[in-house]
Amino acid sequence: MKKILLLISLLPFLPGIAKAQGWSTNTDFGTGVDNFGVYLSSIMTWVTRIAGGIALLMFIYAGYLYLTSRGDTSQIEEAKNIIIGVIVGILLLFTAEILLQNVVGIRGN
């Protein structure tokens, strides 16, 4: 189990290792990945897109729960909690994106 966790923890560094060894640096996220920052930026782009789609689906689901509650307070509370959770998640995602771009100095594609 420890070996599997070690291998998973080394995955973000593979493009840099490949570049140092002269291997091809084409990844699923794009071609020409030269360093960890570009690789992380590419991953963050995909995470943002996927999270945005999931957030949209959760908003739709919460709206459905709210509209079909028929005055049931527990269902209304559940819908409100889902909406608050989605908003907090989106804010955290944007905060991570801002930190990557401004503090670390990684620019997206």
pLDDT tens-digit series, residues 46-90: 888 899 899 999 999 999 999 999 888 999 999 999 999 999 999
Domain containing 23: what range? Answer: 2-103
Asked if the structure places residue 32 within a domain, the reply is yes
Distance CA 14, CA 9 (A): 10
- Residue 76 falls within a domain, yes or no? yes
Longest dimension (CA), the chain: 64
Would you say residue 12 lies in a domain?
yes
- Judge whether 51 lies within some domain: yes
> Which CA distances in Å does 30 have to 13, 48, 71?
15, 16, 49
User: What is the residue-averaged pLDDT of the chain?
Assistant: 75
Inside any domain, residue 69: yes
CA 79 from centre of chain:
23
For the chain, the domain total comes to 1
What pLDDT band is residue 23 in, cutting at 50, 70 and 90?
A: very low
In a domain, 109, yes or no: no
Please tell me the predicted confidence (pLDDT) of residue 68.
93
